[in-house]
Amino acid sequence: MSVKRISTPLSEQDVMELKAGDNVLITGVVYSARDAAHKKLVELLDKGEDLPVDLRGQVIYYVGPAPAKPGQVIGSAGPTTSGRMDAYTPALLAQGAKGLVGKGSRNQEVKDALKEHGAVYFASVGGAAALTAKTIKASEVVAYEELGAEAIRRMTVEDFPVTVVNDAHGNDLYVEGAKKYERVAGEG
């Protein structure tokens, strides 16, 4: 299995070269945010205010980690279901975010926004949270500390394994992957 390596922040060219089905290792900074943080970010945008982080070129990881044990950088930290972020995602892509990491399918508005703004939706392996935590080398809360596990964290990752699900060209691995391996009744 071939693997591509990319570093954040992502450039226009990085994004355009990624295709649905690519296995990718991400190195650099990613920002964690779940529903509660998304809601707050979009409320700020609605009020015309600045976001607590500059999202241009950045990757957002949908994660609410488990508490860190003493000596750990972070507790187990796998992806949460991305669909809950769908309503907020186009607004953040308009702010320049280039990558999203979660698990599960996105709605049509998100897929369209990925094409329009040139961005990519990756999935990391849901439930492989102890493994993922090992790729996170540093983590600090940068906004909404009061949200606990749902606060926005600036995480430094090294070789964080993800797979491209929706690329900027309109391809969808969840649809194409299943089609490729589907067995229709009467076959084989």
Partner 1 sequence: MREVHVDTVRDHIRDMCIDANYNLGDDVVQAFEQSLKIEESPTGRNVLEQLIENARIAREEQVPMCQDTGFAVIFVEVGQEVLFVGGDVKDAINEGVRRGYTEGYLRKSIVSDPVERVNTKDNTPAVIHFDVVPGDKVKLTIAPKGGGSENMSTVRMLKPAQGRQGVIDFVVEHVKTAGPNPCPPTVVGVGIGGTFEKVAWLAKKALLRPLGEPNPDPFYAEMEKEILTKVNDLGIGPQGFGGRVTSLAVHIETHPCHIASFPAAVNINCHASRHSERNI
Active site residues: 38
179 in contact with partner 1 (CB under 8 A)? yes
Of 23, 94, 116, 127, the residue at the interface with ligand SF4 (CB under 6 A) is 127
- Site size toward partner 1, by CB under 8 A: 48
Question: Cα separation of 153 and 144, whole Å?
Answer: 9
Alpha carbon distance 167, 170 (integer Å): 6
Distance CA 125, CA 54 (A): 27
- The answer to whether 172 contacts partner 1 (rule: CB under 8 A) is no
What's the min distance (Å) between Cβ of 12 and partner 1? Answer: 26
d(CA 85, CA 13): 25
Please, which residue, 38 or 103, has the CB nearer to ligand SF4? Answer: 103
List the single partner that 125 binds among partner 1, ligand SF4, none, CB under 5 to 8 Å by kind: partner 1
Distance between CA 44 and CA 46 in Å, rounded? 5
Contact 42, 85 (CB under 8 A): no
Q: Which residues from 100-119 bind partner 1, rule CB under 8 A? A: 103-105
Told to check if 9 binds ligand SF4 by CB under 6 A, we report: no
Using CA atoms, how far apart are residues 183 and 109, in angstroms rounded to an integer?
30
Nearer to partner 1, 45 or 131 (CB): 131
Cβ atoms of residues 172 and 166 within 8 Å: yes
Is 148 a binding residue for ligand SF4 by CB under 6 A? The answer is no
Q: For tokens 């990624």, what's the residue?
A: 18
The residue within the footprint of ligand SF4, chosen from 78, 114, 164, 168 (CB under 6 A), is 78
3-state helix/strand/coil string of 141-173: EEECHHHHHHCEEEEEEEEEEEEEEECCCCCEH
Which residues lie near ligand SF4 (CB under 6 A)? 78, 126-127
Which residues lie near partner 1 (CB under 8 A)? 1, 21, 23, 63-69, 72, 75-78, 80-81, 83, 103-105, 123, 125-131, 133-134, 148-149, 161, 163, 165, 173-174, 176-185
